[in-house]
Chains A and B, each alone.
Chain A
Amino acid sequence: GENVEQHPSTLSVQEGDSAVIKCTYSDSASNYFPWYKQELGKGPQLIIDIRSNVGEKKDQRIAVTLNKTAKHFSLHITETQPEDSAVYFCAEGATGGGNKLTFGTGTQLKVEL
């Protein structure tokens, strides 16, 4: 992967509302799209991922959607809670290619009480 754009850079929501973070990529060979959550002072942690043969994946309150034609994918968090406050990074990679991940620039999510 060469380039991943991530928006917004900051996002503030009220507790219980939904949050959506969007990423676009440029490499047509990309086939793996993980999302990482990074809390203050810690390393990133994988929260959900999606492969190119799937359009949507859900795990409890989080879901990811992928549009390969448009080359964009999104993270959806429903019923947000204060502990969801963190920096979220999208990434993309190509298995069988370079096998490395290219990360987006991050979204600072703040869930307000």
Chain B
Amino acid sequence: EAGVAQSPRYKIIEKRQSVAFWCNPISGHATLYWYQQILGQGPKLLIQFQNNGVVDDSQLPKDRFSAERLKGVDSTLKIQPAKLEDSAVYLCASSLEGLANNEQFFGPGTRLTVL
């Protein structure tokens, strides 16, 4: 079974530029998550989708971050404009359903460096 795919794996941009990340979850998984993992910290949930609807985006900085999952399958996360503090690994995860005790399968992440 193919895992969660993410691209690109690495991205370096200057502050105030825009960047987009792509995620393809495990086939059949209804729930998709985007996490931000700052160096030395645990993953922090940015947004959770159930199919193509947003379940939780309470920690998403909506003035600069946006995400979509239009067809309920793959998803994109965008940052515009980027700030230095956005440097982090952005992890995508998926699960069968959206319950807390459903195993979340993580992709390898995209490491973003903002200069």
Contact = CB atoms under 8 A, between A and B. Distances in A.
A91 B103 CA distance: 12
A46 B98 contact: no
Contacts of A104: 42
Contacts of B42: 4, 6, 89, 91, 103-106
B101 A32 contact: yes
Contact of A43 (B55, B98, B106): B106
Contacts of A93: 100-101
Interface in A13-43: 31-32, 34, 36, 41-43
B70 to A, nearest CB: 22
A105 B108 contact: no
Interface residues of B, number: 22
Interface of B is mostly: loop
Assign chain A's interface to a size class: 20 to 34
Most central of B4, B42, B98, B107 by chain A CB within 10 Å: B42
Nearest to B103: A46
B101 to A, nearest CB: 4
B45 interface: yes
Given A44-B43, A103-B43, A51 B101 contact: yes
A100 B100 contact: yes
Contact of B56 (A46, A51, A100): A100
A106 B38 CA distance: 12
Contacts of A31: 100-101
Nearest to A99: B100
Interface in A61-113: 89, 91, 93-95, 97-101, 103-106
Nearest to A89: B42
Given A44-B43, A101-B100, A103-B42, 12 more contacts: A4-B42, A31-B100, A43-B93, A43-B108, A45-B106, A49-B103, A51-B101, A93-B101, A97-B100, A99-B56, A100-B45, A106-B41
Interface of A: 4, 6, 31-32, 34, 36, 41-46, 49, 51, 89, 91, 93-95, 97-101, 103-106
